[in-house]
Amino acid sequence: MKDKLTDRSPLHTQLREVIRAKIDEGEYPPGTCIPSESQLSEAYGLNRLSVRSALAALEYEGLLHSVQGKGVFVTAPKLERDMETLGGFRQTMRERSQRPGTRVLIKALRQAGPLYAQILGCAPEEDIWYVRRICQANGKPIALEEIFIPTDVVPGFEEVDINLFSIFEVYRWNGIYPVRGEQRLAITHLDPAEARLIGLREENAVLEFSGATYDREGRAIEFSRSYTHSDRCEFLVHFQR
């Protein structure tokens, strides 16, 4: 419940509602950084303490998320449903119960090329987003992941810090909901340099988990491929008659 604001309301409450409105109206989109404490205090002529108290309230509500040394970020509205709940069968990686983390190695535009053009339904010379990152569980690298996304699926992607937000969150902010995923599990080998990234020697085999994800309209919204250290992770599939 929002308090009814008047000019007599405390300044930190007024500032809180100013920021809330800017988040609601999309002036501060999810995943981006809002102005710093000192910028806000200068812009509104408030002391730092008031600014801090306004931000703290919004952080408490879960609208903001501050990251030491990086700034204060806008989070996405909390999801009501568990995105990982699947119809028919569930598939989880066992490390889900552990503290997950990612380290982004590459986030860049590349030409789709013949393969991803076919999978994502775009032209081979069109640009797509390419993300390459290491997935960690409790700080330990467990998988090397590559994600290919058509640029029109995630407008403004260059501004989103994907060290802080999951790519599925980014889809949600853009009103995109994955409804179907195709998955394939095979065994392959990595190049020595890649293998080292997840703590493997070259001769170790890895589980290659890949597939495209589709939205309601049947449009491919991403293709992803992960190479998983099988000593640290296994795949679990439930089935039901």
Interface residues toward another protein, by CB under 8 A:
32-33, 70-71, 81, 83, 85-89, 91, 106-111, 113-119, 130, 158-159, 161, 172, 175-189, 205-207, 216, 230, 234-241
Measured distance CA(86)–CA(179) in Å, rounded: 9
User: C-beta of 97: minimal distance to another protein in Å?
Assistant: 15
Helix (H) or strand (E) holding 222: strand 220-228
Residue number with CB closer to another protein (47 or 92): 92
Nearer Cβ to another protein (19/206) = 206
CA–CA gap between residue 138 and residue 30 (Å, rounded): 26
Nearest alpha-carbon partner for 145 in 196, 209, 203, 238 = 209
User: What is the per-residue burial (b if ≥16 Cβ within 10 Å, else e) of 37-61?
Assistant: beebbeeeebeeebbebbbebbeee
Would you state the structure tokens that stand for residue 50, as one six-digit string?
Answer: 């008031």
Shortest distance, position 48 Cβ to another protein, whole Å:
21
CA–CA separation, 106 vs 132, rounded Å? 5
**In 3D, which of 20, 84, 67 has the Cα closest to residue 164?**
67
Task: Using the minimum distance from each CB to another protein, give the nearer residue, 4 or 201.
Answer: 201
Residue 181 is encoded by which pair of tokens? 């995923």
Nearest distance, CB of residue 104 and another protein, angstroms: 9
Shorter beta-carbon distance to another protein: residue 49 or 237:
237
Rounded least distance, CB 30 to another protein, Å: 13
**Nearest residue (CB) to another protein, 17 versus 127:** 127
Distance in Å, CB of 214 to another protein, minimum: 10
